[in-house]
Amino acid sequence: MKRHFYEDDHHAYRDTVREFLSREVEPHYERWESERLIDRSAWLAAGKSGILGLAVPEQYGGSDVVDYRFRCVAIEEVARSATTSFGSGINTQDDIVLPYITHLGTVEQKQRWLPGMAAGELIGAIAMTEPGTGSDLQGIKTTAVRSDDDWVLNGQKTFITNGIHSDVVIVVARTDPNAGSKGISLFVVERDMPGFSRGRKLHKVGLAGQDTAELVFEDVRVPAANLLGTEGAGFVHLMENLPLERMSIAVSAVASARASYEWTRDYVFERKAFGRPIGDFQNTRFALAEMLTEIEVTQSHVDRCVLALNAGELNAVDAAKAKWWASELQKRVIDTCVQLHGGYGFMMEYPIGRAFVDSRIQTIYGGTTEIMKEIIGRDIASQFA
């Protein structure tokens, strides 16, 4: 089925992204995976090549391109090149951190942070998850207490993407212990602020090259000018931005599933067993038919959600549907692809092996599958309240 989703400008941008990945990422990727850290020079190269900060307004150093289909192109090319660790860090910067600053930041904040982030000179992170608090954002214990013209921040965060490299960290903290969800605010903590330190660089099952860290805040004095958005409205701000984050995961999931299917389709018609290509066996053909059909059906839904996002019409419930379905599909497809590769599917030198370990987190971060179903279920139940 022909996919009527992209236009000429998107196809031209795909060539740019593909050439960038081939030149600046793929030759170094195995080393980054081994060292569990991507060189900062790759971020600078991404900034120069127009891969970063597309939606940042031109006056702050970006391209002012708000059509999310361009981000879809970049995500698909990362999946095709099996450089997911690099793409994951970029996704965090472009689809999570930058929108918060772009939408909530004051003019002074935008001038201070956006140009460097669009250029790859500043790397961003968002610190929500805590050691004892995962999906329950209302249960966070990190505190921010007002002290003259500053806020004093104390707490610990974990599983923070870009945690080691980060120069600008949006921290979710409790500013009123008695106000529940209305007592949460967002603060921007900058590298080298006294009391801000990095804990362990976490050793994950997959996404080896994408740095993930623990962050520690011990009496960090954050200027009042670094409050992002409205005091006490942090939970609302998070809810407003989660649909984009979840669409980023959904787009990544279906892109990874498609890339894995295509590697496997080619492999089974090259690899022979019992005197003929594996693809000539009925079981293999049925598996290919099932995967391709599920991918195309899911792609249609995700594409519609992207267009709704572009139009400002994507709601949290539809984003949750796309996120849980696409990420669970990704797991199913890649598991089947590993099986069809046989022993070679378990080798990290094959892209399907990387895709297998990298895919497991997709149903967990950005809100687990169970949380996505709860969001959808609550919406259904609300119609009968």
Cα distance between residue 373 and residue 371, in whole Å: 5
Half-sphere exposure of 92 toward its Cβ, with a 13 Å CA cutoff? 29
Phi and psi for 152 in degrees, rounded to 5?
-100, 115
Q: What is the DSSP string of 337-381?
A: HHHHHGGGGG-TTSHHHHHHHHHGGGGTTTS-HHHHHHHHHHHHH
Q: Which is catalytic among the residues 245, 290, 349, 370?
A: 245
Cα distance between residue 186 and residue 135, in whole Å: 17
Strands 124-127 and 168-174: parallel
Cα distance between residue 267 and residue 340, in whole Å: 9
Q: Is 245 tagged catalytic?
A: yes
Give the tokens for residue 73: 């192109």
Pick the closest to residue 73 from 50, 96, 44 (CA basis). Answer: 50
Ordered alpha helix ranges (H), the chain = 8-20, 29-35, 40-48, 69-80, 84-92, 98-104, 107-118, 234-270, 282-310, 316-341, 351-359, 369-382
Residue with tokens 């999931």: 253
Pick the closest to residue 100 from 108, 92, 160 (CA basis). Answer: 92
Q: How crowded is residue 247: how many other Cβ atoms within 10 Å of its Cβ?
A: 26
The letter for the amino acid at 151 is W
Residues labelled catalytic? 245
